[in-house]
Structure 1
Amino acid sequence: MNRSPLLKISVRYGLVAGVLTFILLVALYYIGRHPLMIAPYLDFRILLYGIFIFFSLKEIRDYYQNGELYFWQGMIGGGIVVLLADSISSVGLTAFGSFEKDFIASYVKLMSQYLNTFSKEDIERIGKEVFERNLNQLPTTNISVLAMTYFVQGLAIGFFVSIILSVIVRRQPKN
């Protein structure tokens, strides 16, 4: 069976990235830095996904396509890497959150403390109703909600990283 190198390589890199992402989640939690309290723009997945997308696209371009890679191929390859990595890490997060009972409790505590540091101006900017609704819903947070939020954030991060790297790594044939 002859599979497309774009699919085969992207799946391989996505699987490894997903397992590594999950390991980093667990490690961050146990070293005392709750992984879900990290701002999305400082998230380790930006760098991790960037590395795995870059090397998967570079391998596809250099070893299977004679130095050529179109933007759309980069987006598909990057999308596969991100979707797999994000799915694996979110499923792992769900399992870990179910196993480690203090995971959700520590998140609720830390997020409550964080929200209580907001100034009146910040609350007005967000909207008092939205702020109060989020604060009141915090105790009912469960691992499914956290995993889904983590998954969606990862897709957003991965989408932008894929765009950037697809532009950087692409090479079209010279006519």
Structure 2
Amino acid sequence: MNKYLSSAYQFGTLGGILSLISFGFLAWVQPDPTNLNLIFGYIITPVSIFLALKFFKDYSNNGYLSFAEGMSVGFVTYMLIAIISALGIWIILVLYPDLFEVIKASKIQVMEQSKDTIISQVGEESFQATQKSIQEMASIDIAINDGIWKIVPGLFFTIIISIIFRKNPN
């Protein structure tokens, strides 16, 4: 089993660490690093999955890759990225509560600035519910959101990359 997961462990861990570095750097550069960190996640996640599958295929599996193997290696890779990133962001926000308050205030401000547009699209009731949920937001919510937005594109990219790399020993 370790044969299947060694490259996933390496590149999933690397992707998670890079995501944390990105969050830290972006927090230093601008008040709300969450949106740009998600964009960075859309870059690092497929790159990590690509490298994990490529290394598995070339160095652990004699140049062959079934779709199931690709999905397994990709799953472990993007889950590691999501878990490391989410846990790290949560720890950062717990250690630096001022950063969390700045992020929360930024999200509240964006809601207020876009109030008319949001109400016209989804209605007053939805706007009020969203505003209330942002005001009650905790640091774990930001971390979980980041993790989810590593998993969703991770699954999509794993499917695509597994199909591209698929080569059976027939």
Alignment of 1:1-175 (within 5 A): 3-32=1-30, 34-38=32-36, 43-118=39-114, 120-173=116-169, 175=170
Where do 4+ consecutive residues of structure 1 move more than 6 Å?
none
Measured in 1, the distance between the counterparts of 2:74 and 2:153 equals: 11
Alpha-carbon distance, 1:109 to partner: 1.5
Measured in 1, the distance between the counterparts of 2:103 and 2:97 equals: 11
Measured in 2, the distance between the counterparts of 1:116 and 1:101 equals: 23
Contact 2:82 2:150 in 1 (8 A): yes
Contact 1:57 1:74 in 2 (8 A): yes
Q: Which has the higher helix share?
A: 2
Alignment root-mean-square deviation, CA: 1.8
Fraction of identical pairs, as percent: 24
Aligned residues: 170
Measured in 2, the distance between the counterparts of 1:82 and 1:140 equals: 29
Q: Deviation per CA, 1:38-70, whole angstroms, max 9, x where unpaired?
A: 495xx1112101111111111111122221111
Measured in 1, the distance between the counterparts of 2:37 and 2:79 equals: 20
TM-score, normalised on structure 2? Answer: 0.90
Q: Name the aligned partner's letter for residue 27 of structure 1.
A: F
Q: Deviation per CA, 1:83-128, whole angstroms, max 9, x where unpaired?
A: 1111011111111001112222111221122112226353232232
Q: Name the aligned partner's letter for residue 20 of structure 1.
A: L
Q: What residue ranges of structure 1 are gaps of 5+ in the alignment?
A: none
Q: What residue ranges of structure 2 are gaps of 5+ in the alignment?
A: none
Q: Deviation per CA, 1:10-32, whole angstroms, max 9, x where unpaired?
A: 11211111111111111111111
TM-score, normalised on structure 1? Answer: 0.88
Measured in 1, the distance between the counterparts of 2:60 and 2:150 equals: 28
